[in-house]
């Protein structure tokens, strides 16, 4: 059914009921930006980073900082 609805721009379905699974908002949020000279230097820190967070929390960004 999902394939039939893709691209229909919601013209084929009316949602009559929906259930949401809400998750609690963390008490604190943080952002850590790490810069490395190369992939080998970054790989060296992976085991230490895994002690403090789950890999699903990681984001990779390369390039220049936005102006």
- Decide: 45 and 34 in contact? Cβ < 8 Å: yes
pLDDT for residue 63: 66
pLDDT for residue 26: 79
Can you give the C-alpha Rg of the chain in angstroms? 20
In this prediction the pTM is 0.41
pLDDT for residue 51: 87
pLDDT for residue 54: 78
- DSSP string for 1-66: -HHHHTTSTTSS-----------PPPS---------SSHHHHHHTHHHHHTTS-GGG-----SPPP
């Amino acid at each position: 059914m999902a394939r039939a609805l893709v691209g229909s721009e919601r013209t084929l379905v009316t949602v009559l009921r929906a259930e949401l699974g809400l998750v609690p908002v963390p008490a604190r949020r943080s952002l850590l930006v790490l810069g490395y000279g190369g992939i080998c230097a970054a790989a060296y820190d992976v085991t230490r980073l895994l002690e403090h967070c789950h890999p699903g929390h990681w984001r990779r960004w390369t390039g220049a900082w936005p102006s």
